Structure 1
Amino acid sequence: MKTITLNYPWDKELTDKSVVLAVGFFDGVHRGHQKLINDAKAIALEKNIPLMVMTFNHHPQELFSKNKISYITTNEEKALEMEKLGVDYLVIINFTREFSQLSPQEYVDNVLLKLKVDTVVAGFDYTYGPDKSVDNVQNLPKFAKGKFKVKVEPKQTFYGEKIGSTSIRQAIKNGNFPLVKKLLGYPYKISGEIVHGYRRGHQLGFPTANLKINPIKALPKEGVYATRVKIDNKWYEAMTNVGYNDTFDNKELTIEANLFDFSEEAYGKQMTIEWYKFMRGEIKFDSLDGLIDQMKRDEQDIKDYFQDN
């Protein structure tokens, strides 16, 4: 897969032939997105032309809302999921105010046609301009004027749950990772560098790898989780705590993973955490002995969980 970052407007040709183009922001590349991309891939294979996905470098709401956007996937994570789905070209457009104000006809003429689209595949709620009542996928054929085809994907559900990035972000926030996995189709991941912490885990007999938190990623609520952690391309079952370590009154949120059967120093290495189950909330203990006893129970509960699952 080739990844291309573009600033609007652009003049260069990206491909030497027409493409099937899947459009959307695709945060999470969840089951609904996967269905859309797989349908687009089937069309591309039938026509013997490449599959291109067009997305943006950040969520359009970041331009118009003061609320912080939490992402399910970074652009790098999104690209990895796209490659798994057989995408040939991933086009990431830098979303600016100028781009957001394109009229429907300008969007067709200066964006879609410049990408040499044969067919556009979009979700039923896809919009692309300042006036959502006009600039939507239902009206796109009118502005296409027969120059390309438009396929609209219906709303997707899974076991009765609407599949959407908003609902997945809320499930992550709630610590409902069984639901997150159902809607994404894979376990939620957070990756980053292992950094120095307070080393209290070492003192308690539960050494931890402390994750440098990416401020744009959606984070689960405070508590203890059953997780799997990858370091140096090897996976370990782990007990991971999210919170302020109420017993010690930390001032900053931390994510600390106690890896089972791992005893190496790993500072500076990359770590990926897969999230599976919320085990309990944060507790402020009156004594270190009480904290250690609880951590021993948490460790056994998590080992039992992975043995059963």
Structure 2
Amino acid sequence: MKGLVVKIIHLTYPVSENIISSKTILALGFFDGVHLGHQRLINKAKEIADQKRLPLVVLTFDRHPKEIYADKKDFKYLKTLDEKADKMAELGVDYLAVMPFTKKFSEIDAQSFVDNVIIKLNADTVVAGFDYTYGPKETANMKNLPKFAKGRFEIVVIPKQIFNGKKIGSTEIRQAIREGKMDLAFQLMGHHYVMSGTVGHGKRNGHKLGFPTANLVWASHKVIPKIGVYATKTQVNGKWYESMTSVGYNVTIGQPEKIFIESHIFDFKEDIYGQPIKIKWYKYTRGEIKFSGLDELKKQLEKDQIEIKHYFAQEAQSNV
């Protein structure tokens, strides 16, 4: 997948004419997590784009509409914009168009959205989920879209996507991650949850114990996995390494206020302070424990490492 890039276009409302000169296939949605349901929608749009030999444009927003409609300032996301763009590139999207979702934008009516966004993005065909809305949901819904389209573009509606009898949704995935159910999150997303950021300074207690850690400085609006220790993989300089990652308050070392995400990368010795890293979450292995001292903590870390290396060895075996 390396080298695939999606072009990000930052829009303003109303959208300017001819930002994209050709006709387009336009996929609509917020797409947080780019989960299995989203992937099926985008794959369908890609199939149409390939058939018609037109570029595929995904229209999303810079923030979740709930931040405005429900005044949810502390909304937590599955993907940052850059992480979303990476996944869109993998799926063969040509353009990721990002509209600022402001209070003013939230107040436009359905016809204005169609005329000043969809039409300006040169849509030949619009692909969206059955529950997509573009204004007040009583009127600005997929059932009424043909009325506002006035025959100017085709419309493809993707039905509800189901997993184990339940809708595949970003809300369910956020909940799974908060509960440490990384297997369920993987099943719903179709890929492992990823957090990206840079390596910040820690207290270097891990170094003293023989378990140096990369302390992740991450975007504050990301969903944080349940407190505990996880089997993870950590990417440094484009290469993935097996690792174990702790999410916790450092209770043994007396820092009960701030959450730390610290990744001990197996068989890795480089100094990577300040560098970008990504952490891919596989399995919750245990909760946070307050130890009597650093010796007891070191013994537990040794056990954790053995258990997590065994987990990855079994994973590799089952994938052969």
Please name the residue that 1:127 is paired with.
133
Partners of 2:314 and 2:15 lie apart in 1 by 54
Runs of 4+ in 1 over 6 A off after TM superposition: none
Letter in 2 for 1:287: G
C-alpha deviation, 1:67, in angstroms: 4.7
C-alpha deviation, 1:84, in angstroms: 1.0
The residue correspondences of 1:165-204 to structure 2 (distance < 5 A) are 165-204=170-209
Please name the residue that 2:238 is paired with.
233
Please name the residue that 2:99 is paired with.
93
C-alpha deviation, 1:216, in angstroms: 1.1
The residue correspondences of 1:140-219 to structure 2 (distance < 5 A) are 140-219=145-224
Partners of 1:136 and 1:190 lie apart in 2 by 33
- Superposed CA offset, 1:90-116 (max 9, x none): 111111122111111111111111111
Please name the residue that 1:103 is paired with.
109
| 3-state secondary structure, aligned to 2:120 | helix
C-alpha deviation, 1:161, in angstroms: 4.4
Letter in 2 for 1:122: A
Letter in 2 for 1:283: I
Please name the residue that 2:3 is paired with.
none
How much is the aligned-residue C-alpha RMSD, in angstroms?
Answer: 1.3
Runs of 5+ in structure 2 lacking a partner?
Answer: 1-5, 316-320
Please name the residue that 2:63 is paired with.
58
Give the share of equivalent positions with the same residue, in percent: 53
- Superposed CA offset, 1:45-78 (max 9, x none): 2222221111111111112323511111111111
Partners of 1:147 and 1:233 lie apart in 2 by 44
Please name the residue that 2:86 is paired with.
80
- Superposed CA offset, 1:198-248 (max 9, x none): 111111121111111320111101100000111122221111100101112
Equivalent residue in structure 1 for 2:29, among 24, 30, 43: 24
- Superposed CA offset, 1:275-306 (max 9, x none): 00000000111232221111111111101110
User: TM-score w.r.t. structure 1 length?
Assistant: 0.96
Partners of 1:194 and 1:44 lie apart in 2 by 40
Q: Which moved more, 1:218-227 or 1:60-69?
A: 60-69
C-alpha deviation, 1:159, in angstroms: 4.3
User: TM-score w.r.t. structure 2 length?
Assistant: 0.93
Give the length in aligned residue pairs. Answer: 308
Partners of 2:162 and 2:231 lie apart in 1 by 27
Partners of 2:158 and 2:125 lie apart in 1 by 13
Runs of 5+ in structure 1 lacking a partner?
Answer: none
Partners of 2:265 and 2:250 lie apart in 1 by 18
Letter in 2 for 1:219: I
Letter in 2 for 1:76: D
Equivalent residue in structure 2 for 1:302, among 304, 308, 315: 308
2:15 and 2:121 in contact (8 A); partners too: no
C-alpha deviation, 1:10, in angstroms: 3.1
- Whether 2:270 is the aligned partner of 1:264: answer yes
- Superposed CA offset, 1:160-185 (max 9, x none): 44311111111111111111111111
Partners of 1:235 and 1:68 lie apart in 2 by 31
| 3-state secondary structure, aligned to 2:87 | helix
Letter in 2 for 1:158: F
| 3-state secondary structure, aligned to 2:218 | coil
- Whether 2:300 is the aligned partner of 1:291: answer no
Partners of 2:244 and 2:166 lie apart in 1 by 29
Q: Which moved more, 1:89-98 or 1:8-17?
A: 8-17
| 3-state secondary structure, aligned to 1:114 | coil
C-alpha deviation, 1:127, in angstroms: 0.7
